[in-house]
Chain A
Amino acid sequence: MKETFTSRWALLLAAIGMAIGTGNIWRFPRIIAQNGGAPFLIPWFLFLFLWSIPLLIIEFGIGKKTRMGTIGAFGSINRGFTWMGGFVGFCTLAITFYYCVVTGWCFRYTIASLVDLAVPSGAIPGGGLRGAETTSYWNSFMSTPWQPVFFHLLGIFTASAIIYRGVVNGIEKANKLLIPALFTLLIIAAVRAVTLPGAAEGMNFLFEPRWRDLLNYRIWLAGLSQSAWSTGAGWGLILTYAVYMRRNDDIVANSFLTGLGNNSASLLAAIAIIPTVFAILPTQQAISTVTETGPVSTGLTFIWIPRLFEEIAGGRIFLFVFFLALSIAALSSLISMVELGTRIVMDFGLTRRRSILIVGSACFLFGLPSALNPGFFQNQDWVWSVGLLLNGILFAILVIRYGVERFRRDSVDVPDSDFKLGRVFNFVVKIMIPIEFLAMMTWWFTQAILHYDPDFWWHPFRTFSIGTCILQWGLLIVFLLVFNRPIQRRLFGININGPVPEEENRGGIGP
Chain B
Amino acid sequence: MSGSAIAMMVSICTLLWGGFLFLLGFIWKLEKKRDEGRPDAARKTNPDI
Contacts and interface: CB of A to CB of B under 8 A. Distances in A.
Interface of A: 7-9, 12, 38, 41, 45, 200, 203-204, 206-209, 253, 256-257, 260-261, 263-264, 267, 418
A260 B4 contact: no
A260 B25 CA distance: 14
A413 B43 CA distance: 32
A207 B26 CA distance: 29
9 contacts: A8-B27, A38-B8, A203-B1, A206-B5, A207-B8, A256-B23, A264-B16, A267-B17, A418-B27
Contacts of A418: 26-27, 30
Contacts, number: 61
Contacts of B46: none
Contacts of B15: 45
A209 to B, nearest CB: 5
B20 A260 contact: yes
Given A38-B12, A207-B1, A209-B8, 14 more contacts: A8-B27, A45-B12, A200-B1, A204-B5, A208-B2, A208-B4, A208-B5, A208-B8, A209-B7, A253-B27, A257-B24, A263-B16, A264-B20, A418-B30
A267 B27 CA distance: 23
B10 to A, nearest CB: 9
Nearest to A7: B31
Contacts of B17: 264, 267
B13 interface: yes
Given A8-B27, A203-B5, A257-B27, A267 B20 contact: no
Contacts of A267: 12-13, 16-17
Given A9-B31, A204-B1, A204-B2, A260 B16 contact: yes
A45 B16 contact: yes
A384 B20 CA distance: 30
A9 B31 CA distance: 9
A223 to B, nearest CB: 13
Interface residues of B, number: 21
B5 A207 contact: yes
Main secondary structure of the interface of B (DSSP, over half): helix
Nearest to B7: A209
A12 B8 CA distance: 29
Nearest to B30: A418
A240 B20 CA distance: 23
A209 B3 CA distance: 10
A179 B42 CA distance: 31
B41 interface: no
A260 B23 contact: yes
B49 interface: no
Nearest to B31: A8
A418 B29 CA distance: 12
Contacts of B4: 208-209
B38 to A, nearest CB: 11
Contacts of B2: 204, 208
- Residue among B15, B20, B26 facing the most chain A CB atoms (10 A cut-off): B20
Nearest to A263: B16
A261 B17 CA distance: 8
B28 to A, nearest CB: 9
A8 B23 CA distance: 13
Residue of A41, A207, A256 with highest tally of chain B CB at under 10 A: A207
B20 A257 contact: yes
B20 A261 contact: yes
Contacts of A203: 1, 5, 9
Contacts of B1: 200, 203-204, 207
B23 A207 contact: no
Contacts of A200: 1
A204 B27 CA distance: 34
A263 B2 CA distance: 24
Specify which of A12, A256, A260 lies most central, judged by the most chain B CB atoms within 10 Å of its CB: A260
B48 to A, nearest CB: 27
B5 A38 contact: yes
Top-10 shortest CB links A-B: A260-B20, A207-B9, A207-B5, A208-B5, A207-B8, A209-B8, A264-B20, A257-B23, A200-B1, A204-B5
Contacts of A38: 5, 8, 12
A260 B12 CA distance: 12
A274 to B, nearest CB: 12
Nearest to A12: B27
